[in-house]
């Protein structure tokens, strides 16, 4: 009645018939062993080690007798020392007695994705495009099958693919020539177990895909090995559409008001992605034709414009996208420089202002698998927030405007070289220390750090610090009782705070924070706060268990400062984290796993979009949330910061004054 | 328990609940009533007449009470006299009592296809692309569905289509704009119940497709109304590839020996089809975008070249096509000037030398539904023959060469203006009468019919007549005992027969039939005969029950002459017919019926291709079949021709001489 086979490290065991190969035994027991060539004894990937173990009769000699003898192919594929150490190819070694087999890590399928935060995640690598190595009998007068039928039969018989299997037209053109030149041994790349999108000569081990995150400002692309999950190259560029408008609304306007405006912007982004593809394949020493899959994410307007779909109705009540479901489009229909027969996959959209990038964040962070109610905040030009847990999820978008990214701030700038990204203000002297992108450490007054302006995280920091040190009060107004060289009236007669004097800058002018800047930040943070508050209310809680900042920008925010100004609801600071470009991570995961794409589709339907601006008490709540940190709510998580001696102004009169914020 | 409804003329009857519309009642009883708008009361196609009948209680008055009252929409859609004559719209009239309903012919679905022979065939019209009229609620803040989802829901709910339904990318581009401009009322064209390939404003009644038969010489295209089955326009052109070679072998050679040869020929035929599309839509006053489906047929080499697939391996042992199955390719991938999102469908191939045109012949003639064993002969540059019945089918291709089309014949020409297409020879005087394309009646010697040459049917006729009148014997050799002005030695010293003297021609030279011409016809007809003989042998019979000549050429052949020279096996002459361009008919049927495409796929797999030239006794059989009509077989069907007085030479010595044919 057969023999016992045990596989380590999984410990799976079972009885198999005499003569069963270890590979078939492993498959029967659900043990994954890599075999690129489908047991054709060509790839050498299914190496296993025959272990000594607890089988009583095992000794070197008896073990040898429990497997068929070593084949020629094994001697070719295995190193001398491997043979000596009892390695075998699982596709060659057939069972003749009880055996204990160790499957080394490199022979196991599945892999590890390194996320943008540096975190690693073990996932089951299951790309939508897979390679199948096949060997066919050559054509003969007594075998009237055509070339495609030969391939199809091999895929069905050898790999158990189900018919129908289609042949994409461009592949058909060169099929006969390719398989004959390859001596009837080819690797077939199959999309979704349905369609042949490439036929390559011989055994091809690796296959490659690209994940693209199209931001309004930045486009990032990741070249991944779809077999191992490894990210082998990463490139980013400014979104070339930026010449047509800085944000999504100005791009919608451009397409509405310019003939061929949509077409120009679409061509610009397709051209941009093509330049990224060129750069990626150059770095990885591949060709464009090697890129066999692509996943795209981006907000709804980027999605529509990239696809040449008029975004007019996305920008107008009731903000209806042409379609929200994920879509597969032939690369050739979009003019992308990759394997012609490949599909590119856009992840689904959630709503008019919550796009595929947000879905990507969700499948990367998986709040829908967690008990904790998580608030996910993705700040771009728009703020997109999601709140919920495994029970249910709500999302909204907040019209934060671009202030949080440093735009519409007097000395605001992008997070680039020379931008002030961090600020600390001495509570007594009101003299700041600043941190500058591209420079190490903190600079104090009098240093020559050559600052050029203030970026988003800097402006949040400086607001929080000005509030903590009493330069501004809870309503955001400058404290008239403080004056001095740094807190002064500007040329326009309005109050301002000098962060760097002209001599300390690279621009030869004082870098100041104005009353207008403070107001812009208040409007932005209030929009975000209100959005979160509505979602929590729909969900039925008052506080989030966790807060996650997604997006490159979120990584640089000082979470204490964000809390001090009341940009997000009160939450244990230890439960607040930034996850970097989670949209890029989600795109990568969708590239490596068909299940993740399925998950994206389900989540997009599951998330309930709330149009918060349509809520009847929105104006009142918005006004209340303008205060630092909030007019009504008690931010217990920052009380320890308040009590550290720099927050005297929060006592007595100051507290009252916060309540008098004038709309 | 409901009321009885009877539909005439089908006589179907059943009980339905009160309030059921007549349309729903009809559907429930399997009675087809046309409704283009899906019961939206828009199209007015579902007219029915309420009959007086055998219901005892029926009188004008009581009948009116057995249906709901006439609606506003019915008053708009029905003429005054129709209302007076008790016409109703089936979608409006609801049952309130027993009714007897007559469904007029124009309200029934299904239609009639007029075949090239002029025969009519009733078929169930069931095109692969169908139109669905839908009305949607407009987008609103409290209905967050996207535009595509709105359409999809309507298709699922209203027409019972099954998900998934895809949206082809080019349609997505203009979707939002189209449905809004159309006031949320659109007609959606769906391919194969799966993919949306067009969205048009309002109600669109008709949809259009083109069937194309790509011959090596001629390309014919038929524009059909996919709703009614009507052929509304028909155009043909010379195959523009003809400049690269007259026949398929020379085109294969051209592609092998010329850089970009394949590309040039592919572009030529695509350009040719585009010019046909332009001409068809102009004649029918449509636009190219109105053409929403296409079926293509042609031989295997035409198939490969049109698709830019190297035909090298089709032209070389073992003659393997890249693929044989039917294929759907986006029109835009082929550069065809029709609706961009449409697919074109190539019918499947049978083998290297039996192409999609032969499959088209089969689905038009349906030998696989018949008891009689039918021989189908399609003569082009190649002869393709099929033999069988509902039990089994065999096919082969015969290397007839182009002689039967008039090529490689001294005065041979295409079947064009001035070609001699029919010949009768006086048995006594040996003086011929000829029939000429473009002229009426038979001309005799001395007339000035201005002949230019001899086409295929003429050459078959003249061979048969020369044999019947003893000018040549059974081996095809000139009878040396006959001489005179018309049977003479030519300039080369070889025997020839003068069909027209120089003065009777438009070319100023004698039109003659040479010994070489006779030999060329013998080789061609022997190839055909042998092919048929092998297929009959495989099938297990000695004679066909029927013979069908397919192809334009077949329509002009004199069937007695074909039998006299032994081009086809002996068969009751009454059971021999020509069906014209059956390949075109088959392409049309596949255009109008999804079932026919399915049938084509099944038949292509069912037909067994026999490589007759590979049979061991092929050379012997071929030699035997060179004789007129055959060395061994007795052609009883033409005995009455032999006995009519013009066949004395078949007695005695002549019969013996035929046996001495010298290979």
Task: Tell whether B175 lies on the interface with A, counting CB pairs under 8 A.
Answer: yes
Contact status, residue A550 vs residue A560, Cβ threshold 8 Å: no
Which among B313, B334, B349, B616 is the top mutation candidate for probing chain A, defined by the most A β-carbons within 10 Å of its own β-carbon? B313
Judge: B323–A149 Cβ closer than 8 Å, yes or no.
yes
Distance in angstroms (rounded) separating the CA atoms of residues B450 and B448: 5
Angle at B405 between CA B400 and CA B410, to 5 degrees: 100
In this prediction, residue A466 carries a pLDDT of 94
Mutate to test the interface with A, among B178, B322, B342 (most CBs of A within 10 A): B322
Of residues B400 and B149, which shows the higher confidence score?
B149
- CA-nearest residue of chain B to A150? B323
| Cβ–Cβ under 8 Å, residues B269 and B344 | no
What long-range pairs does B644-648 form, CB within 8 A, spacing at least 24? B645/B427, B646/B427, B646/B468, B646/B469, B647/B468, B648/B427, B648/B470
Nearest Cα neighbor of A625 from A475, A462, A477, A513 is A475
A57 touches B: beta carbon within 8 Å? no
- Closest residue on chain A to B324 (Cα): A146
Kindly report the backbone phi and psi dihedral angles of residue A521, in degrees, each rounded to the nearest multiple of 5, phi listed first.
-65, -40
Could B147 and A172 be called an inter-chain contact, meaning their C-beta atoms sit closer than 8 Å?
no
Q: What residues contact B106, with CB distance under 8 A and at least 6 apart?
A: B34, B47
More confident residue, A501 or B58: A501
pLDDT band at B65 (very low <50, low <70, confident <90, very high): low
* pLDDT value at B360 more than 90: yes
Looking at residues A331-348, what average pLDDT do you find?
Answer: 98
Does the beta-carbon distance from A149 to B177 stay under 8 Å? no
The pLDDT, as a whole number, for residue A111 is: 66
pLDDT of residue A241: 95
B329: nearest CA in chain A? A169
pLDDT band, residue B62 (cuts 50/70/90): very low
Buried b (16+ CB within 10 A) or exposed e, B256-291: eeeeebbebbbebbbebbbbbbebbbeeeebebebb
A648 has pLDDT over 50: no
What mean pLDDT do residues A55-76 have? 69
Q: Which among A218, A312, A309, A303 is positioned nearest to A257, based on CA atoms?
A: A312
* A175 contact residues in B (CB cutoff 8 A): 309, 322-323
Closest C-alpha among A473, A432, A434 to residue A452: A434
DSSP-assigned beta bridge partners for residue A351: A354
Confirm if B49 and B90 have CB atoms less than 8 A apart: no
User: Average per-residue pLDDT in chain B?
Assistant: 89
Q: Give the nearest chain B residue to A613 (CA atoms).
A: B141
A304 to chain B: closest CA residue? B173
Q: Does A316 touch chain B (CB under 8 A)?
A: no
Q: Mean per-residue pLDDT for B222-251?
A: 92
B320 and A611: CB-CB below 8 Å? no
> How far, CA to CA in Å, does A254 sit from each of A261, A313, A319, A405, B173?
6, 14, 17, 22, 17
Q: What is the pLDDT of residue A646?
A: 40
**Rg of chain B taking only CA atoms, in angstroms:** 30
Q: What is the mean pLDDT of the segment spanning B156-162?
A: 90
B465-506: pLDDT as tens digits? 999 999 999 899 999 888 889 999 988 889 999 999 998 888
Separation of alpha carbons B36 and B26, rounded Å? 15
Handedness of CA A405, A408, A410, A416 (dihedral sign): positive
pLDDT at A330: 98
Pick the residue from chain B with its C-alpha nearest to A149: B323
Distance, CA of A213 to CA of A269 (rounded, Å): 11
Q: What is the DSSP string of A585-620?
A: HHHHHHHHBHHHHHHHHHHHHHSEE--GGGSTTHHH
Res B647: pLDDT: 40
Closest B-chain CA to A333:
B169
The whole model's pTM is what? 0.88
Per-residue confidence (pLDDT) for residue A68, from 0 to 100: 86
Task: State the average pLDDT for chain A.
Answer: 89
Question: How many CA within 13 A on the CB side of residue A544?
Answer: 34
What is the pLDDT at residue A352?
Answer: 80
E strand map for A91-245: 99-102, 111-114, 120-123, 129-135, 166-167, 185-191, 195-201, 208-214, 218-225, 231-238
> Does the structure show a pLDDT above 60 at A643?
no
Tell whether the model's pLDDT for residue A660 goes beyond 90.
no
What is the per-residue pLDDT for A350? 92
Mean pLDDT of A410-417: 87
Q: DSSP letter at A69?
A: P
pLDDT by residue (tens digit) across B538-591?
A: 999 999 999 999 987 778 889 999 999 999 999 999 999 999 889 999 999 999
On the 0-12 / 13-18 / 19+ scale of CB atoms within 10 A, A414 is middle
Tens digit of each residue's pLDDT (9 = 90 or more) over B293-322:
999 999 999 999 999 999 999 988 899 999
pLDDT in tens, B243-290: 998 888 899 999 999 999 999 999 999 999 999 999 999 999 999 999
- Residue B52 has a pLDDT of 60
Which residue of chain B is at minimal alpha-carbon distance from A145? B320
Residues of A in contact with B329 (CB under 8 A): 169
Confidence of residue A431 (pLDDT cuts 50, 70, 90): very high
Mean pLDDT of B68-80: 90
| Residue A411 pLDDT greater than 70, yes or no | yes
The residue among A142, A145, A172 with the most chain B CBs within 10 A of its CB, best to mutate, is A172
Please give the pLDDT value at position B55.
Answer: 44
pLDDT at A642: 63
Number of other residues whose CB lies within 10 A of the CB of residue A333: 17
What is the model's pLDDT at position A624? 93
Q: Do A147 and B320 touch (CB under 8 A)?
A: yes
Q: Which one of B146, B310, B324 has the shortest CB-CB distance to A324?
A: B146
Is A538 strand, coil or helix?
Answer: helix
Torsion of CA B374, B377, B378, B379, to 10 degrees: -170
Q: Which of A177, A333, A609 lies at the smallest CB-CB distance from B169?
A: A333
Residue A370 has pLDDT above 70, yes or no: yes
Is A546 in CB contact (< 8 Å) with chain B? Answer: no
Greatest Cα pair distance in chain B: 101
Distance, CA of B529 to CA of A614 (rounded, Å):
83
d(CA B74, CA A606): 44
Domains defined along chain B, listed by start? 3-107 (3.10.20.30), 128-201 (3.10.20.880), 209-346 (3.30.420.480), 367-401+522-654 (no CATH), 405-520 (no CATH)
pLDDT of residue A144: 84
pLDDT of residue A655: 39
- Position A369 scores a pLDDT of 95
pLDDT grade for B458, boundaries at 50, 70 and 90:
very high
* Lowest-confidence region among A38-52, A169-183, B168-182, B183-197: A38-52
pLDDT value, residue A143: 87
Testing the interface with A: which of B156, B170, B176 to mutate, by most A Cβ within 10 A? Answer: B176
At B63 the pLDDT is: 46
Please indicate whether, in this complex, the C-beta atoms of A323 and B175 are within 8 angstroms of each other.
yes
Interface test with B, best of A136, A139, A164, A334 (most B CBs within 10 A): A139
Whole-number pLDDT of residue B110 = 65
pLDDT tens figures, A9-48: 888 999 999 999 999 999 889 888 888 888 889 888 899 9
pLDDT confidence bin for A106, thresholds 50/70/90: confident
pLDDT at residue B449, as a whole number: 67
Above pLDDT 70, what percent of chain B? Answer: 93
Candidates A139, A351, A609; nearest CB to B320: A139
Lowest mean pLDDT across A287-291, A295-299, A606-610, A612-616: A612-616
Closest CA to A305 of A339, A355, A373, A363: A355
Residues of B in contact with A174 (CB under 8 A): 310
State pLDDT tens for residues A523-577. 999 999 999 999 999 999 999 999 999 987 778 889 999 999 999 999 999 999 9
Contact B170 A330 (CB under 8 A): no
Sign of the C-alpha dihedral computed for residues B226, B231, B232 and B233 taken in this order? positive
pLDDT, position A110: 65
């Amino acid at each position: 009645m057969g023999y016992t086979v045990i596989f380590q490290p999984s410990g799976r065991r079972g009885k198999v018939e005499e003569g069963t190969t270890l590979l078939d035994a492993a498959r029967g027991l659900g043990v994954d062993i890599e075999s690129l060539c489908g047991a054709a004894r060509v790839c050498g990937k299914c190496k296993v080690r025959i272990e000594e173990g607890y089988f009583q009769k095992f000794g070197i000699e008896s073990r040898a007798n429990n497997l068929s003898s070593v084949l020629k192919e094994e001697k070719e594929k295995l190193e001398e020392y491997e043979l000596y150490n009892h390695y075998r190819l699982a596709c060659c070694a057939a069972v003749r007695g009880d055996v204990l087999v160790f499957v080394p890590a490199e022979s196991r399928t599945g892999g590890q994705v390194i996320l943008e935060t540096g975190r690693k995640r073990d996932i089951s690598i299951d790309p939508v495009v897979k390679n199948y190595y096949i060997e066919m009998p050559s054509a003969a007068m007594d075998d009237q099958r055509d070339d495609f039928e030969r391939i199809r039969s091999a895929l069905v018989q050898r790999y158990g693919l189900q018919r129908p299997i289609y042949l994409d037209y461009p592949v058909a053109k060169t099929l006969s020539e390719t398989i004959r030149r390859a001596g009837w041994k080819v690797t077939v790349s199959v999309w979704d177990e349905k369609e042949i999108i490439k036929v390559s000569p011989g055994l091809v081990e690796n296959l490659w895909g690209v994940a693209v995150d199209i931001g309004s400002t930045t486009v990032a692309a990741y070249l991944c090995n779809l077999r191992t999950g490894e990210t082998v190259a990463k490139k980013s560029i400014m979104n070339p559409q930026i010449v047509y408008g800085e944000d999504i609304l100005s791009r919608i306007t451009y397409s509405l008001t310019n003939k061929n405006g949509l077409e120009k912007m679409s061509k610009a982004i397709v051209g941009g992605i093509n330049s990224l593809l060129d750069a990626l394949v150059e770095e990885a020493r591949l060709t464009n034709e090697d890129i066999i899959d692509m996943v795209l994410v981006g907000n709804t307007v980027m999605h529509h414009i990239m696809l040449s779909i008029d975004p007019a109705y996305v920008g107008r009540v009731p903000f209806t996208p042409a379609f929200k479901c994920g879509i597969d489009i032939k690369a050739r229909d979009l003019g992308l420089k990759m394997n012609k027969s490949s599909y590119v996959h856009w992840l689904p959209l959630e709503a008019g202002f919550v796009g595929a990038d947000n879905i990507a964040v969700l499948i990367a962070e998986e709040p829908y698998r967690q008990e904790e109610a998580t608030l996910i905040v993705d700040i771009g030009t728009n703020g997109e927030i999601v709140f919920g847990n495994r029970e249910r999820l709500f999302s909204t978008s907040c019209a934060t405007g671009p202030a949080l990214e440093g735009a519409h701030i007097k000395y605001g700038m992008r997070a680039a070289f020379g931008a002030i990204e961090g600020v600390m203000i001495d509570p007594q002297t009101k003299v700041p220390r600043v941190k500058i992108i591209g420079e190490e450490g903190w600079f104090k007054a009098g240093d020559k750090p050559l600052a050029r302006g203030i970026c988003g995280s800097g402006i949040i920091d400086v607001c929080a610090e000005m509030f903590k040190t009493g330069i501004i009060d809870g309503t955001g107004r400058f404290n008239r009782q403080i004056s001095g060289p740094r807190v002064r009236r500007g040329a326009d007669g309005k109050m301002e705070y000098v962060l760097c004097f002209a001599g300390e800058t690279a621009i030869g002018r004082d870098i100041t924070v104005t009353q207008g800047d403070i107001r812009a930040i208040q409007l932005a943070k209030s929009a975000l706060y209100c959005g979160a508050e509505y979602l929590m209310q729909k969900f039925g809680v008052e506080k989030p268990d966790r807060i996650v900042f997604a997006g490159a920008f979120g990584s640089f925010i000082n979470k204490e400062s964000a809390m001090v100004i009341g940009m997000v609801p009160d939450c244990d600071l230890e439960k607040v984290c930034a996850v970097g470009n989670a949209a890029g991570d989600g795109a990568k995961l969708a590239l490596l796993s068909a299940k993740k794409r399925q998950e994206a589709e389900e989540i997009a339907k599951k998330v309930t979009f709330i149009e918060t601006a349509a809520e009847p008490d929105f104006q009142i709540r918005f006004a209340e949330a303008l205060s630092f940190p909030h007019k009504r709510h008690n931010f217990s998580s920052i009380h320890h910061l308040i009590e550290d001696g720099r927050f005297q102004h929060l006592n007595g009169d100051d507290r009252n004054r916060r309540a008098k914020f004038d709309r």
